[in-house]
Every structure is written in structure tokens, then in C-alpha cells.
């Protein structure tokens, strides 16, 4: 500040004490001993005038994801975090899966599935017959996966603090019989969900062993999460298709795709509109993965009647009629029954 910029009273009108204070002040401002102050560059000086901070649509502000990770998910709709789940936890999930297959434990609400090629097999259930268990929210041991802190801290980047577990799976992809039924058609998970908005939903999918193209890794079409929900139906495969394995009918097969080669414990987080699937298992062993679809409890249920999802609702209703003794329920009722709070407060879902 320059001395000439000060507005002070005329010292001739002020008392002696005031004149003394004024002389001291002016001495500080004008004295030769006053060091020069080097100006630091301001934000305006170092940032272009047309700069706009990035606007994120698919991730939330917190200190978990790096800027690079956020931008990758924004652009591609998926993000792989290496070595996220421990070998010890994975072994516990594997052990519980085997106990469920052998019917040593009861798990309320669980769905046990077989590959279409062995669906009518008379062999007793075991880990070589069961190809998937779904909706294990009622099994405390497997539900631990959904609550692992190292998982939920990333989930919160997409859902916020109020987290619901909506859909759970432990996939035991079998060696292919030669009919290619072990593959999963390209699809969007939102096709199965009657809750919105999609940007507040995320899947965590963890490899329980090394997974590559030989044993049927996930394949994703980067950036397709920016599109809309496409119509789904059963693909016209000669060898047969597993129950509820709907696929997109009109996607561009020439779009760039990424095969997610993952090690045991690696976890991929992906958006429910991301187009993805998996190849057949060409090995002689079973390929295991465990997953949970999470949603913010601020999400809301929606009626799918009259939409492209009506076909899946009708199919689920047929299956539910057997389980719920003929009650006519909507798809959203199924999700209300299955939803379980993981963290925070249960609001809408």
C-alpha cells in the first residue's frame, strides 16, 4: 500500500498524541527499512481465462478416487482396482459356496442355478453342478462380501453414503460342454432393475481366481454407459441359452471392446448401462467370481410396464409365482424384498 493512498485527518487539527501515532504509521509505510513484498501469482495469472474445472457426471466428490481414476470411469464406465479382496476372504466365500451347494447350510431367498446343458441332471447338488447362486443377501457369511470396507469405500464414490445391496451373485462358470452355453450374451444390467437413476447404481465384481479369455473373462464395450437402455431378449444360439440370460439384439459388434484379464482379488466397478458379457470357459476347471450390485437408498422404484423391460418382468413374475404361491407381484416388488441395507440410512429403496 502506498502512503499517498491513505486518507487521514489534517494533523494540524489533531492532538499531539494523534500526530505522534500518524508519524509512526507513515514511518512504517515509507521508511527505507521496509522490505519489498514479492507478489505471488494468482489463480487468474496461471490458469487460462477459458478454463473450466471438470464436471463429473458418474462419480461423486470424495478423497478415494484419484482424478485420473475418476476421469477413466467417466470416460469408460468401469474401473479395475487391483488386489482389493484378500485371499483369506475369497477362501471363506468359496467354502461357504461349497457348503450351500452340498445343502449343509440353509440360505433364505437364495436362487441356485444350473447350466442349461445339465439343468435336468439327476446328480445331487455339488460345486460341479451349481453354476451360479443369486440373491445371497440372507446368508451372513457371503453377505460379508457386500460389507467389506475396502469394497464399500469405492462403492460410496458412485452411490454416496447410503448404500443398499440389491443383487448378489457367486458365479461358478462351468467348463463349456461344446455348445457355448457357458458364455453370457452382451447386455446391460439395468435391463433387470426397476430402480433409478442409473448413475447411482454400481456393480462390484471380484475375481476369485485368475481370469482371462480362456476361462471366460468379462468383456466390456468402453463408453457405452453414456447411452440409453437398449431392448433385450434371448439370443438365437443353437446350443441353447441359460434362463434369464437376455442379450442386446442390435449393438454394434464392431465396437472396440476390452477383455478384463484379472487376478485373484482384483475388483471391477462398473455402471449398469455399460454393455458387457463374458466368453465361454474353454478350460477344464470352473471359473469363480463374486459380485454385488449396489444402489443409493435415495434411488426410487419405477414401473416398467410399457417399456422394453416388460419382457423381463413377465418372466420374473412366472418364476415368482412358484416361490410366492401365486401372488401377482411386479418387478419392483421383487427388488423391495431383496434389498438390504449395507451402510448409512435406508430412505427409499
258-259 and 218-220 beta bridge pairing: antiparallel
pLDDT at position 124: 58
Enter the pTM of the model. Answer: 0.81
Rounded CA separation 127/102 (Å): 8
Are the CB atoms for 219 and 234 separated by under 8 Å?
A: no
- Residues 56-85: pLDDT tens digits? 999 999 999 999 999 999 999 999 999 999
- Of 38-47, 159-168, 284-293, 332-341, least confident by mean pLDDT is 38-47
Cell of 196: 433409478
pLDDT at position 48: 55
Domain boundaries, the chain: 2-46, 67-343
Q: Is the pLDDT of residue 345 over 50?
A: yes
pLDDT at position 143: 98
pLDDT at position 44: 37
What percent of the chain is modeled with pLDDT above 70?
76
What's the rounded mean pLDDT across residues 94-98? 96
Q: Is the pLDDT of residue 51 over 60?
A: no
Phi-psi region of 320 (alpha: psi -120 to 50; beta: other; left: phi over 0): alpha
Q: Is the pLDDT of residue 33 over 80?
A: no
- CATH number 2.60.120.620 given to 67-343: yes
Question: What is the three-class DSSP state of 112?
Answer: strand
Alpha carbon dihedral 325, 327, 330, 332, in 10-degree steps, equals: -60
Angle at 14 between CA 12 and CA 15, to 5 degrees: 115
Are the CB atoms for 190 and 166 separated by under 8 Å?
A: no
Q: Is the pLDDT of residue 118 over 80?
A: no
Instruction: Kindly report the length of the chain.
Output: 349
Nearest to 151 by CA among 72, 132, 260, 143: 143
Give the DSSP letter string of 240-279. ---TT--EESS--TTS--EE--B-TT-EEEE-TTS-EEE-
User: pLDDT category, 343, cuts 50, 70, 90?
Assistant: very high
pLDDT: is 93 or 317 the higher one?
93
- Residues 137-180: pLDDT tens digits? 999 999 999 999 999 999 999 999 999 999 999 999 988 867 66
Angle at 172 between CA 166 and CA 174, to 5 degrees: 140
Q: Is the pLDDT of residue 311 over 50?
A: yes
pLDDT at position 241: 63
Buried b (16+ CB within 10 A) or exposed e, 44-60: eeeeeeeeeeeeeebbb
What's the rounded mean pLDDT across residues 216-243? 85
Q: Is the pLDDT of residue 126 over 70?
A: no
Please name the residues in contact with 232: beta carbons below 8 A apart, sequence gap of 6 or more: 187, 188, 191, 246, 247, 248, 249, 308, 311, 312
- Of 4-8, 149-153, 210-214, 215-219, least confident by mean pLDDT is 4-8
- Residues 231-286: pLDDT tens digits? 998 877 655 666 677 889 887 888 899 999 999 999 999 999 999 999 889 999 99
Cell of 111: 436362487
Q: Is the pLDDT of residue 344 over 70?
A: yes
pLDDT at position 131: 87
User: pLDDT category, 323, cuts 50, 70, 90?
Assistant: low
Q: Is the pLDDT of residue 330 over 80?
A: yes
Amino acid at each position: 500500500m502506498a502512503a499517498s493512498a491513505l486518507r487521514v485527518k489534517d494533523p494540524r487539527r489533531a492532538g499531539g498524541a494523534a500526530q505522534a501515532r500518524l508519524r509512526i504509521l507513515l514511518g512504517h509505510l515509507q521508511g527505507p527499512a521496509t522490505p519489498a513484498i514479492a507478489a505471488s501469482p494468482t489463480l487468474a495469472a496461471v490458469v487460462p481465462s477459458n478454463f473450466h474445472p471438470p464436471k463429473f457426471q458418474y462419480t461423486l466428490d470424495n478423497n478415494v478416487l484419484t482424478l485420473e481414476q475418476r476421469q477413466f470411469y467417466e470416460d469408460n464406465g468401469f474401473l479395475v482396482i487391483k488386489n482389493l479382496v484378500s485371499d483369506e476372504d475369497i477362501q471363506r466365500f468359496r467354502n461357504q459356496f461349497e457348503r450351500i451347494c452340498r445343502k449343509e447350510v440353509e440360505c433364505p431367498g437364495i436362487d441356485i442355478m444350473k447350466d442349461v446343458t445339465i439343468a435336468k441332471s439327476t446328480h445331487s447338488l455339488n460345486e460341479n453342478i451349481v453354476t451360479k447362486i443369486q440373491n445371497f443377501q440372507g446368508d451372513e457369511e457371503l453377505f460379508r462380501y457386500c460389507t467389506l470396507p475396502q469394497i464399500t469405500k469405492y462403492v460410496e464414490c458412485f452411490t454416496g453414503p447410503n448404500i443398499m445391496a440389491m443383487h448378489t451373485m457367486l458365479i461358478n462358470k462351468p467348463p463349456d460342454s461344446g455348445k457355448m452355453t457357458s458364455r453370457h450374451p452382451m447386455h446391460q444390467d439395468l435391463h433387470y432393475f426397476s430402480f433409478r437413476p442409473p448413475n447411482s447404481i454400481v456393480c462390484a465384481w471380484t475375481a476369485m481366481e485368475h481370469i482371462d479369455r480362456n476361462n471366460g473373462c468379462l468383456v466390456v464395450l468402453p463408453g457405452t454407459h453414456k447411452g440409453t437402455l437398449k431392448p433385450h431378449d434371448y439370443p438365437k444360439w443353437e446350443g441353447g441359452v441359460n434362463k434369464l440370460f437376455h442379450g442386446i439384439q442390435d449393438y454394434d459388434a464392431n465396437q472396440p471392446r476390452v477383455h478384463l484379464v484379472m487376478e485373484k482379488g482384483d475388483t471391477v466397478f462398473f455402471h449398469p448401462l455399460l454393455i458387457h458379457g463374458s466368453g465361454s470357459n474353454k478350460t477344464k476347471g470352473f471359473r469363480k467370481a463374486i459380485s454385488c450390485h449396489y444402489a443409493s437408498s435415495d434411488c426410487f422404484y419405477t414401473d416398467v410396464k410399457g417399456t422394453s423391460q416388460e419382457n423381463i418382468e413377465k418372466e420374473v413374475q412366472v418364476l415368482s409365482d412358484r416361490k410366492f404361491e401365486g401372488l401377482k407381484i411386479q418387478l419392483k416388488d421383487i427388488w423391495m424384498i431383496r434389498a438390504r441395507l449395507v451402510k448409512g440410512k435406508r430412505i427409499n429403496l
